[in-house]
A and B are shown apart, each in its own frame.
Chain A
Amino acid sequence: MAAITPGRAYGFFTDTSVCIGCKACEVACKEWNELPGHEPAFGDGYDNTGSLDAQNWRRVQFIDNVPDETMSAGQGKAWLMMSDVCKHCKEASCMEVCPTGAIIRTEFDSVFIQPDVCNGCRNCIAACPYDVITQDEDKGVAQKCTLCYDRLQGDMEPACAKACPTESIQFGPVDELREAARQRVTDLHDQGVTEARLYGEDSDIYGGLNAFFLLMDEPEAYRLPNKENAKLPRRNNLGGYLGTLGTAVLGVLGGLIALRRRREPVAASQAEPEAGE
């Protein structure tokens, strides 16, 4: 790969059609980032990680749709495996709500929580639509995937992508990954794998995800918000603005009416403003 250059947007293309659920990504991530992980606990046999959190920055989801019939096409359809990770959203709600400015967008366009600035307020935990972040209880700070910020600065790809044996996790400049991903979907469709689709490669999902996916089913099957729901309440949201404007107008009108009524001596003592902001 060409040198990793500050100023360019980098991310992951995770192609779930070739994921074999080996969890090398999980282990490589923990080893590189020195995450101790949790006490070992039985989950459901294959997924004993359970969720993304402060200790698990990659997590392979297993979604079992295997039918009873003896011969079923595999192709990554019947037993879905997906290595989940922070999406590094273009419109990152965690960043929006961070009161200390701990969460920044780096020179690689990744979303990074600066541990020395984080005050542990947990706003980002509640705000993240993907439940990616939790608190590291020992350090008292919020943690999630850093896109291996330290490795990128040293011109090395993230540990998970390096460890992935089937190239399910691909790292690179986001524009190049998008191109490769669209080609991959075309190839799969040509092979008759019509379930293949991309998630987050365009602006439909939170303005675009720098860590986007090729999925083999609806986003909901992977517990991901679909494009109708993947919207941030935001300042440039015209519908939202108009709604707010409407409410404000109604509020002002209501206030004016109330003030008017206050001047009417009989009702004045009982009347409260009916609307207002």
Chain B
Amino acid sequence: MTNHWRDIRHADLILINGANPAEAHPVGFRWLMRAKLDRGAKLVHADPRFTRTSAVADHHVRIRTGTDVAYFGGLINYVLENDLYHKEYVEYATNAGLVVSEDYEFDEGMFNGFDEASGTYDTTAWAYETEGEHAKVDIDHPRSVLNLLRKHYSRYTPEMVERITGIPRDQFLEVAKLVGEMGQPDKVMTIVYAVGLTHHTTGVQLIRSGALLQLLLGNMGRPGGGMNAERGHANIQGNTDHAISWEILPGYLRIPAPGQRDIDDYMAASAPKKLHPNAANFFGENYRNFLVSLLKTFYGDKATKDNEFAFNNLPKPAQNSSWISIFDQALQGKMEGVMLSGMTATSIGPDSNQVLQALSNLKWLCVMDAFQTTSSEFWRAPDMDPAKVQTEVFMLPATHWIEKDGSFTNSGRWAQWKEQVLPPEGEARHDHWILAELFLRVRDLYRQDGGKGADLIFDIDLPYENPRKPTLDELAQEVNGKNLSTGERLETFADLKDDGTTTAGDWIYTGHYPESGNLTKRRDGIQDPDKNDPTGMGFYHNWAWSWPLNRRVMYNRASADPQGRAWDPERPGITWDAGKRSWVGDVPDYKPDAAPGADAPLPFIMTGEGTGRLFSNGVADGPFPEHYEPIESPVENPLHPNVSATPVTYQYDKQAGRPSRFGTAAEFPYVATSYRLTEHEHYVTQNVEKLVQLQPEAFVEVPAELAREKGIENGDNVRVSSRRGKLEVRAVVTKRLGPLQIDGKKIYHIGIPIHWGFVGINSGQHWLANALTPFVGDASSRTPEFKAFLVNIEKM
């Protein structure tokens, strides 16, 4: 989230896309309800399903899954065409005025820079026209970002929106009217989204299209505004921050690439460049400080100026190593073993049957978990022949989070410390103790026998009291980082250096554990609002700690106008106090004493432009979001039928020479989308008796009209199949999944809740929802397309 849960109460309008917060985030949902109850905010829920969120929203807009770029694109077009965007904000805080290079082109669904051979875009082809070192500024230029944006989205008329999304024109315009009012400085809108936007081959662009709308309306950086991702698990934000993804190092630094010999090479490819004379370019300017401090944390005394701080110890992956890629490698027999922790691979990945095959190809599989999982028991999956599985499976009992302390980072970036509730049961060990033990034993083997890459093993610094059992408190201190000269922990990442005198395990967390103690333990909250929330804006700066630097709303310099006055004095983020000569309110996302003025740094300090990016080359599939159909779709793209789906998705099966596993609308005529229910949390709650009682058995949701056609009644057993697999489960027949008219064709959605497998209390359940989903992901992130694919359904 750019903002945080509690902040949603400040919104006048709440757009919910690709999310079902009432069910998936019922506790956080209270803040959406507070906005509604206390200030009469309107909730607009755009979703294929009428869910428990729609039930309390003001409008439910039935939209075809995966078409939110068309929805947001239509809204972008509406606010531009009708001059409803926040002009002063757009000119001040976005890159609307920058001129794009004359190479830029968009034609029939293709941007410039496409390389046929690799099937990818050269993203550097999407550049600005430069004057000297910087980008040229002229908002009236025909190739200004604003004018190109206008042209790009002029195709997204209400008629086109209706053809793509299925939202009737009148209903779309009703929403557009509400949204159009939010460009006023005294109005603010928030967009709330979740994996319903992420889980598509166009996932990154779906989210970006919402962010573009928010920039145009002047809602980024403001309390009650922003682009707010609801994270699906208690600590998924913390996972991402600490580099659970393969392509980043902790703190969103890029993973080095092959061919980068030293830090200079790495910097040239990774750090943002200053593109405007008044851009602070804080990230770009400090990138080296952050990287070197990280290397000092990893390698301690072994990281020296002379050896480039052991930069070459870092992995430089030669190929994509995201989730689907791991199993693709295993399918190709290139993976010997896999260790799983904190999730069950069998259930969570797309195309379970292919994943099961991949696991069967392994020599060994090690599962660390508090419970048996569908991975530790994978040979028992339906249609598996245990005799044919030679994989050796190790089950290591690991502690549950309730059996350890440590911090969770929530959607709003607040790191909150929790205490251990129960002692570990039986022989269970913490995951990090298992890994530490394993590492030390491998190191012993290296000592004994030697081997390849010994430096990588021996250079690792383990400054813990007991390296076999590091405490989470020790790790938190290490993540925070310290000044190596004084030995004191740092208060801000601004003090990090590139000369090897500082450490930081994750620069965005520097300051959460200074010498004064672990700030994530703070709990000064609503017990005394006058003291703990002096601005009345709900920042509660002494409740836990949020990255970066305890800032509660990111980009908050944009909450004030160029003179430093709040766009809306009723809802200030930060404002310039001329008397104190400093910014007051939230922790400023800005130099705290930089006075407003013609030469003041631009508001978005992290980008090379100094402004929010309406046009960006940071994504793999285009500088502006464009609507592309899901890989499996019942219709051709009405915008450009010849380039219907995104041209830059990596097709795993095709590249590996395996037969296609994609179906067509002729065989699989219905659109399916998978989701979670409020009663369960992914797969682990199959072990929780009270929740199994609430939601005991797998089912799919079937539109009432289609069910009538097929003679399916509530509770009947049905078979749902895709090209990849099948589910045999109960049917819940409902009007909550109504039909849609898409480009003249009637389209039905089938709803697939995901929570069941073949382990847990209700052991009679055997079917994995992801048996149906396609083995393909987003062009940039490779996040699987769980939310849009084709199926057939029949009564059993």
Contacts and interface: CB of A to CB of B under 8 A. Distances in A.
Contacts of A167: 30, 33
Contact of B52 (A68, A70, A79, A191): A79
A136 B51 CA distance: 34
B696 A42 contact: yes
Contacts of B735: 64, 66-68
A71 B171 contact: yes
Interface stretch (B332-340, B343-351, B697-705): B697-705
Contacts of A194: none
Contact of B59 (A46, A71, A81): A71
A26 B689 CA distance: 13
Given A20-B56, A81-B52, A71 B694 contact: no
B695 A48 contact: yes
A177 interface: no
B54 A79 contact: yes
Given A68-B735, A165-B26, A79 B690 contact: no
B166 A48 contact: no
A39 B171 CA distance: 45
B693 interface: yes
Interface in A1-51: 17-24, 26-27, 30-31, 37-38, 40-42, 44-46, 48-49
A18 B32 CA distance: 11
Contacts of B10: none
A49 B692 CA distance: 11
B732 A191 contact: no
Given A20-B26, A74-B55, A79-B55, A40 B696 contact: yes
B544 to A, nearest CB: 19
Nearest to B36: A18
Contacts of A66: 50, 734-736, 738
Contacts of B678: 20-23
Contacts of A76: 55-56
B405 interface: no
A70 B166 contact: yes
B122 interface: no
A44 B694 CA distance: 11
B57 interface: yes
B598 interface: no
B195 interface: no
Interface residues of B, number: 55
Contact of B168 (A27, A71, A73): A71
Given A70-B171, A71-B171, A166-B29, A40 B60 contact: no
Nearest to A67: B735
Nearest to B690: A27
Nearest to B694: A23
Contacts of A72: 50, 60
B29 A42 contact: no
B65 to A, nearest CB: 14
Q: Which of B26, B43, B45 has the most CB of A within 10 A?
A: B26
Nearest to B61: A71
A69 B57 CA distance: 15
A48 B696 contact: yes
Nearest to A166: B33
B276 interface: no
B93 interface: no
B679 interface: yes
Interface in A49-85: 49, 64, 66-76, 78-81
Interface of B: 22-23, 26-27, 29-30, 33, 37, 40, 43, 45, 50, 52-62, 166-168, 171, 174, 678-679, 689-697, 699, 701, 704-705, 714-715, 730, 732, 734-736, 738-740, 761-762
25 contacts: A18-B56, A20-B23, A20-B52, A20-B53, A21-B22, A26-B694, A27-B690, A40-B762, A44-B715, A49-B694, A70-B62, A71-B62, A71-B174, A72-B50, A74-B43, A74-B45, A74-B58, A76-B55, A78-B54, A79-B54, A79-B55, A80-B55, A165-B27, A167-B30, A167-B33
Interface of A: 17-24, 26-27, 30-31, 37-38, 40-42, 44-46, 48-49, 64, 66-76, 78-81, 165-167, 191
State the 7 A-B residue pairs at the shortest beta-carbon distance, nearest first: A40-B696, A45-B732, A70-B62, A20-B22, A74-B57, A79-B55, A22-B26
